[in-house]
Amino acid sequence: MLQIIKLNNISKKFDNKQVLKDINIEIQNNKIYGLLGNNGVGKTTLVKLIFNELNYDTGEIIYFKDNKQSEIDYGEWYYFLKSGNLPQEIKVKAYIEYIKNLNNISKKSFEAKYNEVIKLIDVSAWLKLKVADLSAGQKKILLLFICLILKPKVLFLDEPTANVDIQTKKMMIETIEALKKTRNHYSCYYTFSRWSRAHFGSYIYSWRGSY
């Protein structure tokens, strides 16, 4: 099985507070992992370290491509942020078009991807709405739709099932499970929801975060 990332003894402090201590994680291709813990234990910090948004104090993070040590390739990675980061005043159709142009996707390629993804997640009823008019769950579904259009090899999900109804949770989980089965990449999510843990993560890393 191909390795994607390996974390060796990662530790991180903010001022005098120990947020992460000696974290060891190995992530392989085409698997779903869960980073499980309550608020404030360092899940978001860990992902920011992986994406080089923060510097760790000790340890090392090793990235792999085709099972060989490599630099992180952000063109193949997608960080599924919380829906509050979406532009609110733009219409859904215009936002999807913006993402297409931002990523230099040709019209032909985009249409093929769009027609494929719309079968999994149908956002056609929202195209004329502003992002601000969508519910919290609909915004997360829109983000997942965009993610599938981009077809990343490595996907990190920021609490994708938090603050949404049961139906939306079910839809998102089924979509991500289908994604794992049909494409050569893995999905990683982190949440403290036991419901999500039972239905979502195949491999669980859990910690309390108090040192």
Sketch the domain layout of the chain as residue ranges.
Answer: 1-76+187-210, 83-152+161-184
pLDDT at 178: 72
> Does residue 176 have a pLDDT over 80?
no
- Nearest to residue 186, comparing CAs of 168, 170, 201? 201
> Does residue 202 have a pLDDT over 70?
no
> Does residue 16 have a pLDDT over 70?
yes
Tokens describing residue 48 = 């920011």
Rounded distance between C-alpha atoms, residue 136 and residue 78, angstroms: 20
More confident residue, 177 or 125: 125
The answer to pTM > 0.85 is no
Name, in order, each residue with C-beta under 8 angstroms of 171's C-beta and a sequence gap of 6 or more: 121, 141
What single-letter DSSP state applies at residue 29? T
User: For 30-68, how does the pLDDT look when each residue is reduced to its tens digit (9 = 90+)?
Assistant: 777 777 777 777 888 888 899 888 999 999 999 988 878
Domains 1-76+187-210 and 83-152+161-184 share a fold: yes
- Nearest to residue 79, comparing CAs of 136, 144, 33, 29? 144
* 83-152+161-184, CATH topology level: Rossmann fold (3.40.50)
CATH classification code of 1-76+187-210? 3.40.50.300
